């Protein structure tokens, strides 16, 4: 299975750490080596914008914005005909919709969301992971993702958005203990 790379893995390799006695998790730093074509956009007012359209369904999106219980953000991954993923965070509630399934949650601990919200989304073909302030993570799989996808954002205040196409992960396996 090594020749197939990480095919079939449901979640990204991640780093788990404690910060202020709260457990956090994030994709491992080594995944940054896969980043291609860095892009950046700053939203200054309430806007619904199309970030990009790309052919490769491997991408990473990072969004950070000031946050309180009155803020709202929506991130949609879609093509022209169908919405594949919707991430909506409003105040302390979050919702993730994936092609027919809905996952909801409440971020309840005071101070857990503010004063800033960070969303970190990674899509690798059918695998989708979204990290909310690196304290919550939702992982899903959707098969049949179109070859051309779009991402759009609706934010209730200013936001910094970065996105990258991601290269493929290949495993170097000189180790005689690893078996195909």
The pLDDT score that the predictor gives to residue 10 is 65
Give residue limits of the domains in the chain: 36-166
- Would you tell me which CATH number, out of the four given (1.10.10.60, 3.30.365.10, 1.10.645.10, 2.60.120.560), belongs to the domain 36-166? 2.60.120.560
Taking the whole predicted model, whether its pTM rises above 0.85 is answered as no
Select from 79, 63, 81 the least CA-distant residue to 71: 63
d(CA 63, CA 51): 12
pLDDT of 113: 58
Low-confidence residues of the chain: pLDDT under 70? 1-10, 45-49, 53-57, 79-83, 99-100, 105-114, 142-148, 169-180
* 39, 139 contact by CB (below 8 A): no
């Amino acid at each position: 299975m090594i020749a197939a790379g990480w095919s079939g893995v449901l979640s990204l390799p991640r780093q788990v750490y404690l910060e202020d006695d709260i457990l956090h998790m994030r994709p491992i730093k080594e995944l940054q080596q896969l980043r291609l074509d860095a892009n950046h956009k700053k939203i200054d007012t309430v806007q619904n914008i199309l970030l990009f359209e790309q052919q490769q369904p491997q991408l990473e999106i990072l969004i950070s914005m000031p946050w309180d219980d009155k803020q709202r953000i929506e991130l949609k991954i879609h093509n022209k005909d169908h919405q594949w993923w919707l991430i909506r965070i409003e105040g302390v509630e979050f919702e993730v919709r994936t092609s027919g399934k809905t996952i909801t949650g409440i971020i309840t601990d005071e101070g857990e969301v503010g004063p800033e919200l960070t969303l970190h989304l990674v899509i690798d073909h059918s695998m989708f992971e979204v990290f909310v302030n690196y304290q919550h993570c939702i992982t899903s799989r959707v098969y049949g993702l179109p070859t051309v996808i779009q991402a759009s954002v609706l934010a209730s205040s200013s936001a910094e958005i970065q996105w990258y196409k991601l290269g493929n992960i290949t495993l170097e396996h000189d180790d005689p203990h690893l078996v195909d």
